[in-house]
Amino acid sequence: MSDLVLHVTGARPNFPKAAPVVKALARHGLAQKIVHTGQHYDDNMSAVFFRDLELPYPDINLGIGSGSHAVQTAKMMTALEETFEQERPALVMVYGDVNSTVAAALVAAKLGVRFAHVEAGLRSFDWTMPEEINRVVTDRLSDLLFATSVDAVAHLAREGVDPDRIHFVGNPMIDTLLAHRHRFDGSRVVQEFGLDGAYGVVTLHRPGNVDEPGVLAELVAAVRGVADQVPLVLPVHPRGRARLEESGLFEHPNVHATDPLGYLEFLGLVAGSALVVTDSGGIQEETTVLGVPCFTLRPNTERPVTITDGTNMLVTPASVGGAVAASLATERGTTWPVPPLWDGSAGERIARIVAAELAG
C-alpha cells in the first residue's frame, strides 16, 4: 500500500469540488493522482474546467463515455478496479453524486481501500432521482464523510453513521467560486445576444424533466412565460439538446440558446444576471453566495440550506412566472445570508483531516 491519494472525478460538477482539495493536499505535501472516468467528455463539459480552475490534468483518463446508468457504471467499475489494484492508493477521494462517485465507492469498498466522500449527507428523499441513490450508497460505504452543511450532518447521524467519521468542513465548491470570482466574465455572451438590460439564466438537464414529454411540455410553457418578462440565456446540456430543440423553446425570441459554457464564463453570466431558473443542484449553492435569486424547478432539493440561508426558492411550472415577476419588481439587497463555513477554507479543512488520517 502506497501513501497515494487518488481523486476520482468524471462529470462537470466534480471539478470545482475537487480543485481546492487537490491544491490543499499539495500544500500538505501528500502524493496525489487524478483519475477522470470520462463520464463527461465534451470539451465544454470537462477539459475547459481543468484550464479554468488551474487544476492539474488527469494522470489517468479512463475514457468511459456515455451510456445507460447500468452500462456506464459497470464500465467505470471495471476500469476503476484495475486502476485501484495498479495504484494501490492509501485513500480514494470521491465527489458529489454522479455515477463516477458511486462506481468508485463500490469498487473501493469491495477492494478494502479506504475512501472519503466530499459532499456527504445531502438528501432530497426523492428515490426517483438517480443522484439520491448514488448519495445514499456512497455515504453508507464511506470511511470519511465530509459534509457541507449542518442538515447533511444531521442526516448522516440519523442514518447511524459513526460520528467520528463525519466532518463538517463547509463547501469546497464555494472555495473555487471565491478564489476565481475576480476572473468571472460573461461579457461575450451578453454582447453576442445584445443583452443591454436585465436578463436571466436557465439550465434544464435532469432526466426527470427533459426526458418525459408531458413534463417537458409543461416546463417549456413555464420558461416561455418567464421569457415573456425577461430575456433568458440557456446553455444547453448535450443530453437534452435534441428534446429542447423539438419542444420549440428556442423559437421564443427572448430565449437565447448557447453551447455549454466554461466555468468562468458561466458564473460570470450568472453573477451579472437578474435571476436563475434551474433544475440543477450546484447552481443553487453558487447563486446563494453570489446573491442572485434562484428559482429551482423541482419539488424538492438536497440543498435546503440554500433556501433557509440563501437565495433559492422551490417553484413549480405554475408558480415560477409569478415568483419571477415578484423578484423583478423587488430591489436586490446588498447583503444576504450565506451558510456556515462557506468561507473559502473547506479544502484546507479537508486536507488537514486527510493528512492526520494518513499519518495516523
Is 182 a known active-site residue? no
> Quick one: DSSP state of residue 256?
E
Q: Which helix (H) or strand (E) holds 146?
A: strand 144-147
Residues 349 and 148: their CA atoms lie apart, in Å, by: 11
Active-site residue identified among 180, 205, 252, 256: 205
Residues 16 and 6: their CA atoms lie apart, in Å, by: 16
Residues 201 and 233: their CA atoms lie apart, in Å, by: 5
**Three-class SS state of 176:** helix
Residues 9 and 58: their CA atoms lie apart, in Å, by: 9
Q: How far is CA 314 from the centre of its chain?
A: 17
Amino acid identity for residue 205 in this structure: H
Residue with cell string 450546484: 282
Residues 101 and 83: their CA atoms lie apart, in Å, by: 15
Q: What share of the chain is helix, strand, coil (3-state, %, to 5)?
A: 50, 15, 35
Residues 302 and 151: their CA atoms lie apart, in Å, by: 10
**Three-class SS state of 265:** helix
Residue with cell string 466532518: 167
C-alpha cell at position 59: 494522470
End-to-end Cα distance, the chain: 15
**Three-class SS state of 120:** strand
The set of catalytic residues is 205
